[in-house]
Amino acid sequence: MNRRVVVTGVGLVCGCGIGTDEVWKNIVAGKSGIGPITHFDTTNFDCRIAGEVRGFDPLNWIEKKEIKKMGRFIQLAMAATDFAVKMAGLQVTPEIADSTGVYISSGIGGFDVIEREHSKFLQGGPGKISPFFIPAAIVNLASGFVSIRYGARGPNSATATACSASAHAIGDAMKIIQRDAAEVMIAGGAEAAITPMGVGGFAAMKALSTRNDEPERASRPFDAQRDGFVVGEGAGVLILESLENAQRRGANIIAELVGYGMSGDAFHITQPAEQGDGAYRVTLATLKDAGVAADAVDYVNAHGTSTTIGDAIETVALKRAFGEHAKKLAVSSTKSMTGHLLGGAGGLEAGISVLALRDQILPPTVNYENPDPACDLDYVPNTARKAELRYALSNSFGFGGTNASLLFKKWEAR
């Protein structure tokens, strides 16, 4: 388990842009990707805003005849993977195909496909259901299509652990490389749940912001006037490699993945555990896995969804895990700009954390205007800033009390 795992490629697609460079530029600029929903008629909906990927044309990445076989989450994963593979300069040759795996997760999968095909069934009966319905909708087909596209014949998997799904994918992929079961893993997650049932379901739980007249100001993690999260869509994919493989092929190494932790709240189906117990323990597990002291961490990309309970409890968990050092931590939630990608959030935010280390820039939490006494850390309010960063932690917490954290390190050859 002593093999070093490095990041050589990052692929990002979300409401803040299509492509890693565009997303990162807008994140650093504090530019929100949230606006009115255009995917469907929201007339009767309490929440009418989301972080849509606007202007996305799957034909830029997928042959026309293949598009009908893929739900939107798969299409977004294909695009993000293309950006990651190109950044990494990765070619899956026959020599490395068996040691190149794919682990791309989703919390919900093809909601759009399920709704569309169910409507066709109701209107015309079972004969109207597409033969591609199942493969276009099921969660693991993002990994399946990516593996087929690149000829990656190594480990192939996916998790559906709610909002921790893609963080689990990246962490599990790291362990696959560490135990010498692969040299390269294409890992991350994707989600496309901006659909009538997706938005309607979260709204029914009273989980969503209803700041419909000010969409860019609606997602406001840690702010005293936060009123719920904003659904986002997109994908985040990393290219992970053993250090030996990356060096052998002369790859440009962006960062190192040094720690991964998991925990379960065993508390409630949607609410986090009291005193942030699950988040606290997953942070300790990640630091233990990395062999890194708490006071070495410089930045936390928080789960920070903009919910009243969640943000306050995550703050408690960070103070418990980091003690006095919590006062020196920079903590930001980029969901303030991207919205919440659900199962794709961990992949997107892991990529953002890697880029923060690469460029030594702290991404901001925008819309932080009204301090909340229950949230009293440095949330990098509203404006990105330069900083000396060595370790960055990325947090993901999911319904059912499933938690994941990833610890990245600035690349140092040592």
User: Does 222 share its domain with 326?
Assistant: no
Asked if residue 393 is part of any domain, the answer here is: yes
30 shares its domain with 108: yes
User: What's the domain range around 272?
Assistant: 260-410
Rounded Cα–Cα distance for residues 365 and 3 (Å):
34
Final residue belonging to a domain, choices 200, 222, 248: 248
Name the active-site residue from 47, 163, 168, 375.
163
Whether 292 is in a domain gets the answer yes
Residue 139, in any domain of the structure? yes
Which of 248, 273, 291 is the last residue before a domain boundary?
Answer: 248
Q: What is the pLDDT of residues 108-167, one digit of tens each?
A: 999 999 999 999 999 999 999 999 999 999 999 999 999 999 999 999 999 999 999 999
> Looking at the structure, do residues 208 and 276 belong to the same domain, yes or no?
no
The answer on 268 and 239 residing in a single domain is no
Other CB atoms within a 10 A radius of the CB of residue 284 amount to 16
Q: Can 168 be counted among the known catalytic residues?
A: no
Q: 194 and 240 in contact (C-beta within 8 Å)?
A: no
Q: Is residue 254 part of a domain?
A: no
Same domain, 241 and 267: no
Task: Specify if 255 maps to a domain.
Answer: no
Predicted local confidence at residue 143, as pLDDT: 98
Whether residues 234 and 354 fall in one domain: no
Last residue of some domain: 199, 222, 248? 248
Stretch 44-66: mean pLDDT, rounded?
A: 97
Task: Give me the pLDDT at residue 1, please.
Answer: 60
Least confident of 172-176, 268-272, 287-291: 268-272
What number of H helices and E strands is found in the chain? 13, 15
**Is 239 found in the same domain as 341?**
no
* 235-252: burial string, b at 16+ Cβ within 10 Å, e else: bbbbbbbbbebbeebebe
Q: Is residue 24, in this structure, part of any structural domain at all?
A: yes
CATH number for position 199: 3.40.47.10
Catalytic site residue 163?
yes
- Domain check: are 141 and 26 in the same one? yes
Q: Is residue 102 included in any domain, yes or no?
A: yes
* pLDDT score recorded for residue 414: 72
Q: What is the pLDDT of residue 413?
A: 82
pLDDT (average), residues 266-285: 95
pLDDT digits (tens, 9 = 90+) for 348-406: 999 999 999 999 999 999 999 999 999 999 999 999 999 999 999 999 999 999 999 99
Same domain, residue pair 303 and 184: no
Identity of residue 351: G
Same domain, 180 and 278: no
Domain total for the chain? 2
Residues 6+ apart with CB under 8 A from 137: 71, 109, 110, 113, 114, 117
Q: Which of 47, 168, 303, 375 is catalytic?
A: 303
- Residue tagged active-site, from 16, 47, 340, 375: 340
Instruction: Write down the pTM of the prediction.
Output: 0.98
Q: What is the pLDDT of residue 2?
A: 82
Mean pLDDT, rounded, for 41-59: 98
Same domain, 241 and 293: no
Does some domain include residue 220? yes
Q: Report the share of the chain in percent with pLDDT over 90.
A: 99
**Mean pLDDT value across residues 305-334:** 98
Task: Examine the pLDDT at 22 and tell me if it is beyond 70.
Answer: yes
Assess whether 39 carries a catalytic annotation: no
Tokens representing residue 347 in the block: 């992949």
From 250-254, 273-277, 297-301, 307-311, the region with the lowest mean pLDDT: 273-277
Taking only the tens place, the pLDDT of each residue in 176-230 is 999 999 999 999 999 999 999 999 999 999 999 999 999 999 999 999 999 999 9
Let me know whether 270 and 233 are in one domain: no
